[in-house]
Amino acid sequence: MGNEYFSMTDIVKTYHVGDEDQMVLKHVNLTLEEGEFLSILGPSGSGKSTMMNIIGCLDSPTSGDYVLRGRHVGRLDQHELAQIRCHEIGFIFQQFQLLPRLDAIRNVELPLIYAGMGKKERMRRAEEMLHRVGLSDRMHHYPNQLSGGQQQRVAIARALAANPTLLLADEPTGALDQATGKQVMELFHELNEEGRTVIMITHDLGIARHARRVVNILDGVLSEGVSAYD
């Protein structure tokens, strides 16, 4: 605790829509410490997805400085960005994004292929991860044979597989019913308590409150706390 995980300084992201420039992130400053559990709360169109893409090194800011574990992301090339996505960040998406033609274990194995791990080691690790999320009995089921909650747990196992330092979840409960959503949140808590940094992006205040720290984003402006909702 106490070590800086990343810092964002004066981040601006502008999209060109037609002839107009649309500023989606307006001079955002955010610092995150290792081991934190942060929620980024905002309604749709507020810029929270853009935040996630920039944090996850899937997109680069128009201006501003983003330093992730001591590295200036803006100065990294394609290869280095891929390495960060591979080893540092575990993505979890609202629509799970499992590959339908692969069974659970092979979905979980996927990031390990890109991490360059050998086949035996990959299978062992993928099994371990599925066991961790409580799906030991569903290893060879295909996504369409699994419930939404199970699919999201496979996705979480996949995000965990390469042992990333940060879990980055985009509306992880958005496609789940309340009870299942709650189970997934409990899993997040456990993972956070194990020492993993977790960032969750959501529009749901109830879900956001699971995190120890909540920041609020509205029209591209980031502010600490949930004031806008109170």
Partner 1 sequence: MIKASLSMFRENVNMSVTNVLHNKLRSFLTILGIIIGVAAVIAMITTVSGVTGEITSQFSALGADKFNVTVTGTRLKGGLTTQEVELLSGLDNISAVSLSVSSTVAAKNGSEWSEKVNMEGRNTVYFQKNEELIERGRPLTILDEEQKTRVCLISSDLQKKLFYGEDAVGQMLYLGGHSFTVVGILSTSTRDVMAQALGMGPNEKVIVPYTTAMRLNNTAYIRSLEVFVEDISRMEETIDSFEQELKAVFNGHDDTYSVINMASLMDTLDTITGMMSTMLAGIAGISLLVGGIGIMNMMLVSVTERTTEIGLRKALGAEPGQIQLQFLIEAFILSLMGGVLGAVTGVLLSMLLSSLINTTFVINWGAIALGVSFSAVVGLVFGWAPARKASRLNPIDALRAA
Report the site for partner 1 in 118-137 (rule: CB under 8 A).
Answer: 118-119
Q: Tell me if 180 contacts partner 1 by CB under 8 A.
A: no
Query: Could you give the C-alpha distances from 158 to 35, 91, 133, 154, in angstroms and in order?
Result: 20, 8, 10, 6
> Directed axis angle between helix 104-114 and helix 78-87, to 10°?
140
- Using CB under 8 A as the binding rule, whether residue 15 contacts partner 1 is answered as no
Q: How far is the CB of 189 from partner 1 (least distance, A)?
A: 24
Nearest residue (CB) to partner 1, 168 versus 214: 168
* Distance (Å, whole) CA 60 – CA 43: 22
d(CA 129, CA 146): 17
Question: Which one of residues 91, 171, 181, 214 is an interface residue with partner 1 (CB under 8 A)?
Answer: 91
Q: Applying CB under 8 A, which part among 18-26, 84-92, 182-190, 199-207 lies near partner 1?
A: 84-92
Note whether 42 binds partner 1 by CB under 8 A. Answer: no
79 counts as binding partner 1 under rule CB under 8 A: yes
SS3 77: coil
- Out of 78, 137, 144, 230, name the contact with partner 1 by CB under 8 A: 78
CA angle 144, 164, 191 (to 5 degrees): 75
Helices (H), 5-147: 48-55, 78-87, 104-114, 119-132
101, 144, 179, 230: residue in contact with partner 1 (rule CB under 8 A): 101
Separation of alpha carbons 91 and 138, rounded Å = 21
Q: Which of 95, 145, 223, 227 binds partner 1 (CB under 8 A)?
A: 95
Does residue 165 belong to the site contacting partner 1 (CB under 8 A)? no
164, two tokens: 């990333």
Cα gap 67→225, rounded to integer Å:
23
The answer to the question of residue 32 lying near partner 1 (CB under 8 A) is no
18 binds partner 1 (CB under 8 A): no
Residue whose CB is less far from partner 1, 115 or 226: 115
| Interface residues toward partner 1, by CB under 8 A | 53, 56, 58-59, 78-79, 82-83, 85-87, 91, 93, 95, 97, 99, 101-102, 110-111, 113-119, 158, 162
